[in-house]
Structure 1
Amino acid sequence: MQRRHLVRPVAVLAAICALTLTGCGTETREPGTGTGSAGTDRTIRAHKVMQLTQVHEETGMTLLEGPTFDSSGKLIVVDVTAPAGKPKVMRVNVEKKTADGLHTDSRGAYTSAQFSPYDGRLYLSDYAHGEVVSLAPDGSDPRTFFTGKVDGAQMNPDDIAFDEAGNLYVSDSRGLSEGKAHGRVVRIGREGEKATVLADGLAATNGISFDADYRGLWISELTQNRISYLHLDGEGGVTSKHTAIRVDGGIAQTDSIAVDADGNLYQGLHGRAAMAVYDRNGKRLATVEVPAHAAGLESATNVAITPGGTKAYMTVSGPAGGYLYTFDALAKGTRQSNGG
């Protein structure tokens, strides 16, 4: 949000601050460019499914994020800047093109959503309050899973990913508002009791997803337009970290990440209604584009690929509102195909 959302541009950060009535810093910056990998092989055209939200008068924007499928095949989507009383979490029937509100409250600014393989609950990252909360699948029974400081510093949790045992991995965009590389990757045990910093000194950590084999984590750093890879030791630790892909984003910045069954990465772009697709070796395979006539759409933040299928659903937002677009992914969807 900052996700891209909050992490993002000044307008989003200001909107979240307005929602929470807290003092926040702002920053101005030039988008990263990077050196890039191989040129795009092809363009994939996305098609509109439906409009989900309009710009909220209270916050001056709408920002869809966190698409993830529930056990019944419904798509869960969050609206980062939704004010109190408006749906902050929605459940979408993509076949019937209908949506209903699943959850709202008076304070949360939710930037991602994932279902835990451990307890089956829906987990949400609250960027503004440094918390992770959970809901029953029907939206009831809200609980605080984790809150407080990690190694002496409050988190700004953006995206989340679960390992197979149900431990939670968080992209912490700490330092974004000051323009400093204080971002982190934090691991929280599945009971919510122990939090450990796996990597720090990152440039506005945003997207996070395991690779296809759960051997490592792909993370995007929004203010450097790069994707880094953390190799894991299988016991909750990191053995190495390196810059894996430099994204030629132009005016756009790297947002959320999803991974398909073949290990391909779908990199959302904040500032452009498109996604960049790479293979695990960094080769640019394709660019997913929203039709040029779809005016007023500025960011394709995130994507979810149907479990066991190739139909992908992308969250796209801008002054025209918040929309779902669909396209055919390059490979089938798995748990890691829900983009944080």
Structure 2
Amino acid sequence: MRRLPIRSLTGLAAIGLLALTGCGTQTSNAGVAPAAAGGADRTVRAQKVMRLTKVHPETGMTLLEGPAFDADGNLLVVDVTAPAGEPKVLRVDVRRKTSRPLHTDDRGTYTSAQFSPYDGRIYLTDFSHGEIVSLAPDGSDPRTFFSGEVDGAPMNPDDLAFDRDGNLYVSDSRGMSEGEAKGRVIRIDREGKNATVLADELAAPNGISFDTEYRGLWVSELTQNRVSYLLLDGKGEVASQHTAIRVNGGIAQTDSIAVDADGNLYQALHGRPAMAVYDRHGERLATIEVPARAAEGLESATNVAITPGGTKAYMTVSGPAGGYLYTFDALAKGVRQSNGG
């Protein structure tokens, strides 16, 4: 999830929110430029699918996040800055290029969405209120799954990932607004009863995703432009931790992360409507970008969902021009780690 510019904070405060700093399996080579000389990095130009939202007068912006496919092939998208009464979760038919509201309320600042493998419900991170909220697949029956302090400190939950058993792993951007490395990775059991800190002193952790074997977690740290790898010990604890990738983003910063079936990382960029793709060894393979002629008024590519079992990918892109979906062909097929968060 992105940090909101100062000009937007007044609008958020006015509505009572805390300040935050089609579907298919086909593949093609459309929009892919030849590999750059001397390296494997190539440019993939995404194509516009549709505009989903306009700037909200109450908040001064719109910010799409958390794309995730449901069992029927519809794409769920959250609008982080939607005011009370406006759709905060939308369901998109990417084939027909239509959308409809799925959920709204009067307080949530939802920054990610993902389906649980345990109970099939939709789980949302509420950044402002430090909560995890769940919904039935049709958007009904909202419940507070987890709320309160963890190890004596409240959360600012940004993204989340599920393990095979349905336990949650949450990136907690605590300390981000103060510019201090107080961020954490938190594990919450699937019943929402036990929460433990797996890693701390992180620099505004944002994206979080398991690798393909569920052996470890990739975690992006927004204010350091790096991706850390947390190797797990099989008992829900961290065995080791190291900086795996340093992202040369220029003015852009590391946002959400998705992982495809080959283990490639799709690192979203805040500050540029683009994503950087790396293999598991840290080699940069590709840059996904909105074509220059369409990029005016678009500031960030926050996240991506790859069609489960297919390679059609959908990227959420936002800025003063509105909130958009763009599509491209992923480097490998979509799996759970590339469907939400």
Asked if TM exceeds 0.5, the reply is yes
Shift of 1:235: 1.2
Matched, 1:248 2:248: yes
Distance 1:124 1:10 in 2: 25
Distance 2:283 2:72 in 1: 35
8 Å CA contact 1:150–1:197 kept in 2: the answer is yes
Shift of 1:164: 0.4
Q: What is the aligned partner in structure 1 of residue 16 from structure 2?
A: 20
Tell me the alpha carbon deviations over residues 270-316 of structure 1, each in whole angstroms, 9 at most, x when there is no partner: 00000000000000000001010112111000000000000000000
Q: What is the aligned partner in structure 1 of residue 214 from structure 2?
A: 214
- Paired residue type of 1:213: E
Alignment gaps of 5+ in structure 1: 27-37
8 Å CA contact 2:131–2:146 kept in 1: the answer is yes
Map 1:33-44; keep pairs closer than 5 Å.
Answer: 41-44=41-44
Residue 245 and residue 160 in structure 1: after superposition, are their counterparts in 2 closer, same or farther (change >3 A)?
same
**More deviation in 202-211 or 9-18?**
9-18
Matched, 1:151 2:147: no
Shift of 1:51: 0.3
8 Å CA contact 1:207–1:339 kept in 2: the answer is no
Shift of 1:13: 5.3
Residue 230 and residue 272 in structure 1: after superposition, are their counterparts in 2 closer, same or farther (change >3 A)?
same
Residue 221 and residue 136 in structure 1: after superposition, are their counterparts in 2 closer, same or farther (change >3 A)?
same
Shift of 1:338: 2.0
- Paired residue type of 2:329: D
Q: What is the aligned partner in structure 1 of residue 319 from structure 2?
A: 318
8 Å CA contact 1:16–1:128 kept in 2: the answer is no
Tell me the alpha carbon deviations over residues 59-111 of structure 1, each in whole angstroms, 9 at most, x when there is no partner: 00000000000011100000000000110000000000000000000000000
Matched, 1:138 2:131: no
- Paired residue type of 1:190: R
Residue 75 and residue 149 in structure 1: after superposition, are their counterparts in 2 closer, same or farther (change >3 A)?
same
Distance 1:74 1:176 in 2: 33
- Paired residue type of 1:324: L
Distance 1:215 1:196 in 2: 18
- Paired residue type of 1:143: R
Alignment gaps of 5+ in structure 2: 22-37
Residue 10 and residue 224 in structure 1: after superposition, are their counterparts in 2 closer, same or farther (change >3 A)?
farther
User: How high is the sequence identity, in percent, across the aligned residues?
Assistant: 77
Shift of 1:17: 3.9
Tell me the alpha carbon deviations over residues 127-181 of structure 1, each in whole angstroms, 9 at most, x when there is no partner: 0000000000000000000000000000000001100000000000000110100
Map 1:50-129; keep pairs closer than 5 Å.
Answer: 50-129=50-129
Instruction: Give the secondary-structure state (helix, strand or coil) at the position aligned to 1:137.
Output: coil
Instruction: Give the secondary-structure state (helix, strand or coil) at the position aligned to 1:293.
Output: helix
Distance 1:51 1:147 in 2: 33
Shift of 1:12: 5.5
Tell me the alpha carbon deviations over residues 34-62 of structure 1, each in whole angstroms, 9 at most, x when there is no partner: xxxx9662100100000000000000000
Instruction: Give the secondary-structure state (helix, strand or coil) at the position aligned to 1:258.
Output: strand
Q: What is the aligned partner in structure 1 of residue 298 from structure 2?
A: 297
Residue 90 and residue 25 in structure 1: after superposition, are their counterparts in 2 closer, same or farther (change >3 A)?
closer
Distance 2:159 2:340 in 1: 8
Shift of 1:18: 3.9
8 Å CA contact 1:25–1:178 kept in 2: the answer is no
8 Å CA contact 1:222–1:253 kept in 2: the answer is yes
- Paired residue type of 2:247: V
Instruction: Give the secondary-structure state (helix, strand or coil) at the position aligned to 1:336.
Output: helix
Shift of 1:21: 4.7
8 Å CA contact 2:20–2:128 kept in 1: the answer is no
- Paired residue type of 1:45: R
Residue 175 and residue 75 in structure 1: after superposition, are their counterparts in 2 closer, same or farther (change >3 A)?
same
Shift of 1:20: 2.6
Distance 1:238 1:337 in 2: 22
8 Å CA contact 2:304–2:338 kept in 1: the answer is yes
Residue 11 and residue 70 in structure 1: after superposition, are their counterparts in 2 closer, same or farther (change >3 A)?
farther
Distance 1:17 1:224 in 2: 27
Give me the CA root mean square deviation: 1.5
Residue 314 and residue 210 in structure 1: after superposition, are their counterparts in 2 closer, same or farther (change >3 A)?
same
Distance 2:17 2:301 in 1: 27
- Paired residue type of 1:335: R
Shift of 1:25: 8.8
Tell me the alpha carbon deviations over residues 222-254 of structure 1, each in whole angstroms, 9 at most, x when there is no partner: 000000000001111100000000000001000
Instruction: Give the secondary-structure state (helix, strand or coil) at the position aligned to 1:140.
Output: coil
- Paired residue type of 2:287: T
Instruction: Give the secondary-structure state (helix, strand or coil) at the position aligned to 2:141.
Output: coil
